[in-house]
Amino acid sequence: MAGIFLSWSAADEPAVTALKNKLLALNVPLWEYRDEMKVGQTIHETVVDAISDSIAAIVCFSDATADKPWIQYELAWAYQAYGKGAGKDRILPVWVGPHPADLRPAFVNHLNLAVGDMQLAPQREDFVTNVLPKLLGSKPPLVIPMALFAMTRAEAKPLFEGLLANQTLAPQLLTLCERFGMRTPPELVEQLTNRYGDSVNDFSPFENQQRLTDLIEDIVDGANVIRVSKELRPIFPRWIQDDLMGKKGAEANKAARKRWRAGRSLIVIDSISTLDANMAVMLDGFIERESSILWIPPYTLHTNAVSDLLRESAERVRRVADALDDWQDQAEPQLALDAPTELSVRLWLHRTFVAMSDTPQPIGERARGVAAHIPGPSRLTDLTARPTSVPPAFSEPRQP
């Protein structure tokens, strides 16, 4: 099969499925029994043949599955198939689930194999940019640093309470409440607070409560299908907001800032969070020449109905309806909407990632128009207007 054999146990299925989907989106050829087994085949013989034909074996486990028999068997078969000595380098054991006890399969310990941790961002990146390309003889994916700047629920609550206590803002808050169909400011504050979680990564601005980072990862995977068909390197997103904010120490912060300045990046900004003065000042230092900015307005929890109405109205015009249904299969979507809805965010990001060049070139005007909106609005009502001069995407302007 000239691909990679994927070994795993049922208890780790959700994490393995996520890893498998990510690797497939990066154009890594995989063999795993759910997709490849045919009716009537003998599991033992089929698996042994698949391992024998494979380039390498990724062995997935956690503390709960490190001692499972099938993992032990497949490790032994891989060792036998690949040969001794350097052949064991083709066996890639990885943690995909919790491992507080750092348990490893016995055969991994016997062979003294290093174990990667797919739960850690730096190790995931090294795995897909260094380890796998060397095995496959392929180019590494294009790593794009991404950063999400949003408050946590603990940070948002006192900020909103302070706004309510400020009498000069009361009329604007009431107007905003009325536009949202709410009668009192506390109802609005409760709605806005629901967008935030225990960490920045929990920011979920849309009604379906999907984390925005997960939504963007899904869009990257879809865009990679088209990139691979166009013989462009797939994209690997690397979220580094904690490093940029200094949460992982001075050395990690220094490395992240250097990476951020080195090339193209995606910066996702929750507009409400810019009301925090510290957040606004910090953001001002991260707007680079080649940064693309996704600005999330405050009213996204109330725009799901807008998406539904857009789809209903699009059905009246067949070609528009078809474009709306097929946008993910197109290299350049034919529709461009505003960005207060999940649909519009998906469209913008998909076009951004598909069109991104393998050979970035400096684009001088990329960040113009954003400076006026950073360090952020001073009033809550200012947030209801989307910045009109946000640069379009990573891609070069279309030539006439």
CA 114 to chain centre: 27
Helix, coil or strand: residue 163: helix
3-state DSSP percent of the chain in helix, strand and coil, to 5: 50, 10, 35
In a 3-state reduction of DSSP, which class is residue 146? strand
Distance CA 7, CA 73 (A): 10
Please report, for residues 29, 138, 321, 347, 396, the alpha-carbon distance to residue 334 in angstroms, rounded to integers and kept in the order given. 31, 32, 11, 10, 17
Q: Among 366, 144, 121, 145, which Cα is nearest to 257's? A: 145
* Res 156 pLDDT > 50: yes
Residue 237, H or E segment: strand 235-239
d(CA 346, CA 348): 6
Least confident of 42-46, 112-116, 285-289, 389-393: 389-393
Write the pLDDT tens digit of every residue in 188-213. 778 888 899 999 999 999 888 899 99
- The amino acid at residue 388 is T
| Spatial contact of 162 and 117, defined as CB atoms under 8 Å apart | no
> CB atoms < 10 A from the CB of 79, how many?
20
At residue 338, the pLDDT reads: 54
Measured in degrees and rounded to the nearest 5, phi and psi for residue 117 equal -115, 105
Domain 4-140 has CATH 3.40.50.10140: yes
* Per-residue confidence band for 313, with pLDDT thresholds at 50, 70 and 90: confident
Mean pLDDT of 218-231: 92
How far apart are alpha carbons 17 and 22 in whole angstroms? 9
Q: What is the pLDDT of residues 91-129, one digit of tens each?
A: 999 999 999 999 999 999 999 999 999 999 999 999 999
Q: What pLDDT sits at residue 393? A: 44
Q: Residue 354's closest CA among 372, 332, 369, 376?
A: 332
Please give the single-letter amino acid code of residue 16.
V
pLDDT at 387 over 50: no
CB 37 within 8 A of CB 105: no
Residue 166's SS3 state is coil
Residues 334 and 327: beta-carbon distance below 8 Å: yes
Segments making up each domain of the chain, as ranges: 4-140, 144-384
239 pairs with which residues across the strands?
146
Residue from 136, 152, 148, 92 nearest 234 by CA: 136
Map tokens 């490190």 to a residue. Answer: 66
Across 298-332, b (16+ Cβ under 10 Å) vs e yields bbbbebeebbeebeeebeeeeeeeeebeebeeeee
d(CA 288, CA 223): 24
Alpha-helical segments (H) within the chain: 13-25, 33-36, 43-53, 69-82, 106-111, 121-126, 132-136, 153-165, 170-179, 185-193, 212-229, 241-244, 250-262, 277-284, 304-314, 318-326, 342-355
Confidence of residue 15 (pLDDT cuts 50, 70, 90): very high
Q: Which residue type occupies 130? A: N
pLDDT above 90 coverage of the chain, percent = 42
Q: Is the pLDDT reported for residue 26 higher than 90?
A: yes
**Mean of per-residue pLDDT scores for the chain:** 80
Model confidence band, residue 278 (pLDDT cutoffs 50, 70, 90): confident
> DSSP secondary structure string, 126-138?
HIIIIIHHHHHT-
pLDDT band at 364 (very low <50, low <70, confident <90, very high): very low
Between 132 and 261, residue with greater pLDDT = 132
Q: Is the pLDDT of residue 157 over 70?
A: yes
Q: What's the pLDDT score for residue 368?
A: 46
DSSP state at residue 239? E
**Average pLDDT of span 237-266:** 91
Higher pLDDT, 8 or 391: 8
The residue ranking higher by pLDDT, 229 or 331, is: 229
Mean pLDDT for the stretch of residues 47-73: 92
286, 267 Cβ separation under 8 angstroms: yes
> Could you count the other beta carbons within 10 Å of the beta carbon of residue 57?
23
Global model pTM greater than 0.85: no
Nearest of 270, 267, 241 to residue 256 by alpha carbon: 241
- Which structure tokens are listed for 374? 């950073």
Least Cα distance to 105 among 119, 90, 95 occurs for 95
Please state the rounded mean pLDDT for residues 240-261: 91
